[in-house]
Structure 1
Amino acid sequence: MHRHTLGALSTTFTLGTAAALLPAVSPPAVRADSVVIGGHPVRLADSPWMVALSSRDRFGATRSGQFCGGAVVARTTVLTAAHCLGTQTLGVPLDDVQDLKVIAGREDLTTGTGQEIPVREVTVDPSYDSGTNAADVAALTLSSALPESSVLPTAPEGDSAYQAGTQATVYGWGDTTGAMELSSGLRAAEVQVLPDSACEAAYPGGTAGTYLAGTMLCAGDAEGGRDACQGDSGGPLVAREHLIGLVSWGSGCGRAGRPGVYTRISAVLADSDTPGGDTPGR
């Protein structure tokens, strides 16, 4: 149950490790295809690194063809969920999508503000497992660069932003109720990073999915009610002004005892001397 350009676009599987997904100079069972549950409207001016993935050919002109989210981690690089680019989400193989774009600077998807940038290349983490959702991450290389002010720093392994109890925010244009009521405006919800033990207890295996601490983290609210949902896949989980996760999967939306599961960004970061894990160009 996942939460959920392509012009001359290629899919590459040449990287040896997930870390290589980030620029060379820089240091998953149930998917969440939805909008933020229990959230509130936010201004894109305060989160310029938030982008929408778009294909009007596959998802229609309403809401600009948005189907997933992403985060700008370098001027020409966006990170999103690998499952967003699979046949289950797109309905066709990635190579058959001819209009994949990243939309930046468009807070309301029914407007024509901001810019639509064709995706030049897609690199799916070669460790990605569609069965377990492990390493659910892909890097999109843009055909033109965004401003440096749009780049969101990433949190490396050991950063305090990953500590259980940390307050974090998840962003998206997805389902706001769990009943496929998609949002036109950007929304966000505050959640709490949970300990791996709680995530493993929530998803020990079986139909609910299996939590794998090596490449995943989970966040939510003990009482439920705040979560990512369908249409939010690939969107950022941000804590202490750093990217720590990407919306990946979950059991339902906003359910007590069923927190949202995210791709753990520290698992896909390259070893780097960049202070604080900031991506070059910030």
Structure 2
Amino acid sequence: MRRPFARTLFRAPVLLAAAVLLPLASPAPSAADSIVIGGRSVRVADSPWMVALSSRDRFGGTRSGQFCGGVVVGRSTVMTAAHCLSPEVLGAAVRAVGDLKVIAGRDDLRTESGAEIPVRRTWVNPDYDPETNSGDVAVITLKAPLPERYVIPMAGAGDSAYAAGTDAAVYGWGDTTGAGDYQNTLRAADVQVLGDSACEAAYPGNSEGRFLARTMLCAGKPQGGRDACQGDSGGPLVAHGRLIGLVSWGSGCGRPGTPGVYARVSEAMRVMPKPV
């Protein structure tokens, strides 16, 4: 079933509704699922642009309240997925989540390392379509700026980083099995950018979802086994040292023939507020 990659809520009043909209990949993951999926441990110091979105009120405090990922594209600007800021994920309108923060510089979510930065304002792409996941982009403006070295460059239209076959990596603290095994430390999975025709063949508009090349790209491995999963939404897909995608949706986690789908950053740059 097509689904975005945000976490379901811990709080009982909204757990069932969120679970219906955001189901886990499968109750019994395959061997490919059991090996982000197929990832490796990485250090935030080597990827300082990777941040966590947090609300302890909504998601509990065990893992710093992490529920989605984000990426620093300006000293006070974080990009994430639009669905991460939706009532379906948060259980309330984003303006009602008073403790929404961005966590930077923290490898292990069980610690207090790094910085927790309050949010000044949020912007959700007005063209975001929750039915198709097209335009799945949002922007968070921070109350305090991060160092310049935290900022990752974005790949504009025509950049070679979008070419089919390009080696890329996806980052996150999400599920590593497809069965709710969320990680406390940051991981990355090595994938390849796939051509639009391959993505359209995987998601032609049936029950698995529809790939729309203008606003999306997809990445994975033909044999599966490496992918983003629940809890990784909004996190970065990076190629050639540049941001090319934001974790958005997919069918299952790491399954052959159903690669992860990402919001295309070149299109997001066209519609989003200018980073500050």
Aligned twin of 1:80:
80
Q: Does 1:138 align with 2:138?
A: yes
- 1:188-237 CA-to-partner distances (Å, cap 9, x unmatched) read 00000000000000001122110000000000000000000000000000
Work out the percentage of aligned pairs sharing the same amino acid.
65
Q: Does 1:2 align with 2:4?
A: yes
Aligned twin of 2:232:
232
Residue 31 of structure 1 deviates from its aligned partner by 6.7
Partners of 1:185 and 1:256 in 2: CA distance: 26
Aligned twin of 1:42:
42
Q: Secondary structure at the match of 1:228?
A: coil
Q: Does 1:247 align with 2:269?
A: no
Aligned twin of 2:10:
none
Aligned twin of 2:260:
260
- 1:5-62 CA-to-partner distances (Å, cap 9, x unmatched) read xxxxxxxxxxxxxxxxxxxxxxxxx979899100010011100000000000000001
Aligned twin of 1:180:
180
- TM-score, normalization by structure 1: 0.85
Q: Secondary structure at the match of 2:165?
A: coil
Partners of 2:270 and 2:161 in 1: CA distance: 18
Q: Secondary structure at the match of 1:58?
A: helix
Aligned twin of 1:204:
204
Partners of 1:114 and 1:32 in 2: CA distance: 32
For 1:7-86, what aligned pairs fall within 5 Å after superposition? Answer: 36-86=36-86
Q: Which amino acid aligns with 2:173?
A: W
Contact conserved, 2:77 with 2:275, CA < 8 A, in 1?
no
Residue 95 of structure 1 deviates from its aligned partner by 2.1
Partners of 1:172 and 1:259 in 2: CA distance: 16
Residue 265 of structure 1 deviates from its aligned partner by 0.2
Partners of 1:263 and 1:77 in 2: CA distance: 17
Contact conserved, 2:24 with 2:252, CA < 8 A, in 1?
no
Partners of 2:22 and 2:262 in 1: CA distance: 10
Q: Which amino acid aligns with 2:4?
A: H
Greater relative contact order: 1 or 2 (C-alpha under 8 angstroms, separation 6 or more)? Answer: 1
- TM-score, normalization by structure 2: 0.87
- 1:152-175 CA-to-partner distances (Å, cap 9, x unmatched) read 000000000000000000000000
